[in-house]
Amino acid sequence: AGSPSLTTVISSIIAGNTAGGGNPDLQQFATLIVDYSLIGDNSGTSLTEAQMADADGNLIGSAAGVGIIDPLLDPLADNGGPTETHALQLGSPAIDAGDPSAVAGAGGVPLYDQRGFGFSRVNDDRIDMGAFEAPPDTTPPTLLAPPNQVLLEDTASGPLAILVEDVGTDPNEITVTASSSNTTLIPNTDVNLMLGGSGANRTIDILPAANQHGNSFITITATDPAGNESFVTFSVEVQPDTTPP
């Protein structure tokens, strides 16, 4: 029998395999279309290595390049349903990395993942790569706030450190906001509550309003892409300037 003239791979994982011929994951014999998929090793194909998602949403490793991509799969196990599956580990690059237009039960997309009824094919508003859909993310980020502050009237705090973490989520994808309980003393503006930094290491620079003193509570809120939120609060005391004119 002849080889197929076209092979299409969408929202899939092909990785971690072994083969005596030296091309463990794929051997390309015809036209190969790959979209929003993870290919651990591109040996035997015309696919270009992409350690970060390429224009087609693919993650493609290469034994001859930077390296093979590990999809972070658990061993084959009974995760529910009639067949064993490889569960996606926390932090797997396959989570929420499939075709963003995929809708469960529409356009050829199954209503459920490989396990069947009760296991939706799309969680967190975006399909995962592979046959196993990770459960919805319900874990909020964690925050470490600056200590309580005592400032002198008309004096800024300077950058104060905020540590942001979230298991399984790139900290760069976490949105951080700040608010003041006393907006006369510290208005809720980007100038008076200046957020900076990136990733896990953020900062806030507090500038009280001119000629104001008193107390305020500053609340820092972190929101991950799944909508989970956490917040921390610290106090700011602005003391009057008693320096003689």
Number of domains in the chain: 1
- 193 in a structural domain: yes
- 195 in a structural domain: yes
Largest CA distance in the chain: 97
Q: Give the Cα separation of 168 and 226 in Å (integer).
A: 11
- 16 in a structural domain: no
Between CA 12 and CA 22, with CA 18 as vertex, the angle to 5 degrees is: 105
pLDDT of the chain, 245 residues: tens digit per residue: 456 789 999 999 999 998 887 899 998 988 999 999 999 999 999 999 999 999 999 999 998 889 999 999 999 999 999 999 999 998 899 999 999 999 999 999 999 999 999 999 999 889 999 999 999 888 899 999 999 999 999 999 999 999 999 987 889 999 999 999 999 999 999 999 999 999 999 999 999 999 999 999 999 999 998 889 999 999 999 999 887 77
Answer yes or no: pTM beyond 0.85. no
- pLDDT, position 2: 52
- pLDDT, position 3: 60
Query: Can you give the residue range of the structural domain that contains 223?
Result: 142-239
- 124 in a structural domain: no
| Residue located via tokens 């092909």 | 14
CATH number of the domain encompassing residue 192: 2.60.40.10
Determine the residue type at 91.
Answer: G
- 28 in a structural domain: no
